[in-house]
Structure 1
Amino acid sequence: MPTAPASPWLRRPAPRPAATTTVLCLPHAGGNAGFFTPWARLLPPELELLAVQYPGRQDRLLEEPLVEMAALADALTAEILRTPLLGERRLVLFGHSMGASVAWEVALRLERGRGPRPRRLYVSGRPGPRHQHPADTYRLGEREFTDELRRLGGTSEELLDDPEMRELLLPAIRADYQIVGTYAPDLDARVSCPIEAFTGDADPEATPDTVADWASATSGDFSLTVLPGDHFFLWPQGERMVAALGASALPAPPR
């Protein structure tokens, strides 16, 4: 998977130098940039996908994972401001589960600074800020923590069954759960860009009512789409998700 120049944070699965809009995708807790690779070639040619690689996984396995939301959002925002890939392009952000909160925090920072202002924020599989509460799941022992990962899905059973792979994978996943479990969003904060929210109709972690609360996190327009599936509805609904992004990420044609 090609990497954005001089950036350990960004992956560029399908380079499109002529694209006019960048879709920056942020994965869930325990996820990695490769989660979004299948989407890259399904997007319209005007859109180029960049996927975020958090520290502590895959080719960043030897790096210490971050354990605080502010530190993660600050570091990623700084990387966005440094990358030459954005140029004069429009920028939209997409985050799933933990990635939704990270994307919102990054959007807030970009809107307060001198960098590119996001034109749209997509949040998926994550309750709105007023329904996000502290949790100490990250403190569980290895067996209980692994059982929780099995319950939620999204992590290969084969990897969880392998003691050596668990030793490699669990520190980064546990760090992500610490980010989520200790995160306290600013309930007065608002982005000015529109927010589009998505969730699965059988997601026990992000019900439609709680995901609808993202409307309170923007001063712009808001919409909610509920699709069939559980917390990882994105896998079976990938084509529908990409179609939704392609329909709204680009500017409206002139009348």
Structure 2
Amino acid sequence: MPHAGGSARSFVRWRRELPPQLRALPLEIAGKGLRSREPRQATLREAATDLALRIDPPGRYALLGHSMGGLLAYEAARALHALGRPAPEFVVVAATRPPHLLGASPYGPLLGLGDDDALLDALADHGRIPPEVRRSPMRHQFVPVIRGDLALVAGHRPDPAPEPLPSDLISWYGTGDADTPPEVMADWRHYTRGAHRAEGFEGGHFFPHERFEEVTARLLELAQQRAGR
């Protein structure tokens, strides 16, 4: 599940180059990408529940979300559990603050920037979009998508006392991402009754794509560790 402003296409390389033991199935929320003609859900939780209803894996599976996608992955795992569906073996939240710490995120103030170029400049300065997006001549087409995603995050109201997930939960962070330092990512331990581990990778907010080989190798390790359980 991709970051704010991203789409299933953000994981094209994953579909092509993952180790043969793994298969990537990028998910798209309504109102974006291949689902751009569908109306957006009003809340992030509704969007995550819609994704949960679309998850029908043929066998063992895990959920992985990057940035906003991490919140979607977590909420989708909660929805799957509530629906009585098979739980993912583990959930990876990458560059995603825990729900109870979202209030300190920069997304809310950034959403208040009315000028599109000012918004893109601020997002790029915070490392939340690749710099080339700011310079793209097509930016007028995807700024509404970015604003819609930011509104989902800024408007998210976490459950004040969530039931911990039954699945293992792994929180990944980029060592150069100031918004998701190790001590913040360690707080994801409160959201699972399974195992939790916070793991750092060199890079900034986009380390899952910048450190593709390391990240996918670690995914394979996580899958293999659980194969014999």
| Class of the TM-score when normalised by the shorter of the 2 chains | 0.7 to 0.9
Counterpart amino acid of residue 70 in structure 2? A
CA distance in 1, matches of 2:201, 2:130: 23
Match of residue 149 from structure 1: 123
Aligned to 1:105: 75
Say if 2:121 and 2:134, in contact at 8 Å, map to a contact too.
Answer: no
Q: Quick one: structure 1 residues 254 and 98, their matched pair in 2 at CA, closer, same or farther if it must change by over 3 Å?
A: closer
Query: Contact (CA 8 Å) 1:95, 1:122: kept in 2 or not?
Result: yes
CA–CA separation in structure 2 for the residues paired with 1:147 and 1:63:
29
5+ residue gaps, structure 1: 1-25
State how far apart, in whole Å, the 1-side matches of 2:100 and 2:227 are.
36
Check whether the contact 1:149–1:155 (CA below 8 A) recurs between aligned residues: yes
1:137 maps onto 2:107 in alignment: no
Tell me, which stretches of 5 or more residues in structure 2 are unaligned?
none
SS of the residue aligned with 1:149? helix
Partner amino acid, structure 2, of 1:233: F
* Conserved 8 A contact 1:137-1:145: yes
Q: Distance in 1 between matches of 2:77 and 2:228?
A: 26
Partner of 1:184: 157
Distance 1:121 1:162, change over 3 A: closer
Q: Residue in 2 aligned with 1:120?
A: 90
2:52 is matched with which residue?
77
Amino acid at match of 1:68: T
Pairing 1:210-225 to 2, within 5 Å after superposition: 210-225=184-199
Secondary structure of 1:52 counterpart? coil
Q: Matched residues in 1 for 2:42 and 2:178: separation? A: 24
Q: Select between 67-76 and 104-113 the one with higher mean Cα deviation.
A: 67-76
Determine which structure has the larger helix proportion and give its number: 2
Deviation at 1:254, TM superposition (A): 4.9
Q: Which moved more, 1:188-197 or 1:43-52?
A: 43-52
Kept after mapping to 2: 8 A contact 1:67/1:176: no
Give me the whole-angstrom Cα distance separating, in 2, the residues matched to 1:156 and 1:128: 23
Change (3 A) 1:100 1:225: same
The CA deviation string for residues 20-61 of structure 1, in whole angstroms up to 9 with x for no partner, is xxxxxx101011112222223443433221001233333334
Over 6 Å off, 4+ runs: none
Check the 8 A contact 2:92/2:171 in 1, yes or no: yes
For 1:46, the equivalent position in structure 2 comes to 21
Q: Aligned-residue CA RMSD in angstroms?
A: 2.2
Q: CA 1:221–1:66 in structure 2 vs 1: closer, same or farther (change >3 Å)?
A: same
The equivalent position to 2:144 in structure 1, one of 150, 154, 171, is 171
Change (3 A) 1:63 1:167: farther
Deviation readout 1:157-183 (Å, 9 max, x if unpaired):
4543355x2221011110110111111
What is the number of equivalent residue pairs in this alignment? 224
Supply the distance in 1 between the matched residues of 2:39 and 2:141 (Cα, whole angstroms).
12
Aligned to 1:28: 3
- State the alpha-carbon separation in 1 of the partners of residues 94 and 158 from structure 2: 17
TM-score by length of 1: 0.79
Q: State, as a whole percentage, how many aligned pairs show the same letter.
A: 30
Establish whether residue 229 from structure 1 lines up as the match of residue 203 from structure 2: yes
